[in-house]
Amino acid sequence: MEEISRMPLIGEKFPDMEVQTTHGKMKLPDAFKGKWFVLFSHPADFTPVCTTEFVAFQHRYEKFRELGAELIGLSIDQVFSHMKWAEWIKENIKIDGKPVEIKFPIIADDTGRVAEKLGIIHPAKGTNTVRAVFIVDPKGIMRAMLYYPQELGRNMDEILRMIEALKISDENGVAMPANWPNNEIVGDHVIVPPPGSEEEARKRLEDAKKGKHECFDWWLCHRKI
C-alpha cells in the first residue's frame, strides 16, 4: 500500500530531513537534539515584512537561547540569496546604534521539498511559503504550529511565551490559562488539570482548604508555580 505523505501534526515526531542552510548542511531534528527549536518559514528574501521579522527574531535570539531554544528560518530561496539578504540586513539595519547580524541558520529550499513536507505552501495564497512556525521539543516532537498569511507579520514575544509555558507545563504537569502570565481571572497562576474521578474531585476541594491550591469549583483549580 502506498504511503500517504502529509504534514506532521502536533504530538508527532518532526520529520527526518537533511537541509542546506547558511551554516552548512544540517540533519533535522537531530541537529537540535536535547534542545527546543523553532523552525519558521517566510515567503521570500528581500521583502519588507520578512525583513522586519528576521530583525525581530534576531533581536530576541538570546532570549530564545536562555529558554534552551534555537531558531532556524526557511524559505524557497537559494542559499546565496539568504546570505546576501543577511549581509544587507547587517549593513543597513541597526538597533540601538548596533548593526543587526543574523546569527541563526536559514534553510535554502529552492526545490520546495522541505516546504511540501511541512505543508507550508498554501496554493490559495500563492507559490511562496506562508508564515509558519513549528515549535519542537528536545525529543524532536512537534509541540505547537502557527500559520500566518503573507500580509501579517508575527509576534515573536508570543512565540517566546509559548516555549516558556510549554516548559512549565511539562515540568509541573499543569496547564496554562489564556494570556498567561497575565490571565484575567487567575493572574500568573497555572491550571491544575481537572480530576478524573469523583474521589479525586472531592480530594481536590479538600486540598484547596489546606492551601495546596485555589478552586472556583472542583473542575477549575489553580495554583502558583
Q: Which of these is catalytic: 19, 28, 39, 50?
A: 50
C-alpha cell at 200: 479525586
Distance CA 60, CA 168 (A): 20
Q: What is the CA radius of gyration of the chain?
A: 21
Q: Using CA of residue 193, residue 196, residue 201, residue 203, what is the dihedral sign?
A: negative
Q: Where are the beta strands (DSSP E) in 52-193?
A: 69-75, 94-95, 98-99, 106-108, 131-136, 142-148, 190-192
Residue type (1 letter), 179 = N
C-alpha separations of 131 from 9, 74, 120 in Å: 17, 10, 8
| Known catalytic residue at 50 | yes
Distance CA 184, CA 158 (A): 17
Catalytic (active-site) positions: 50
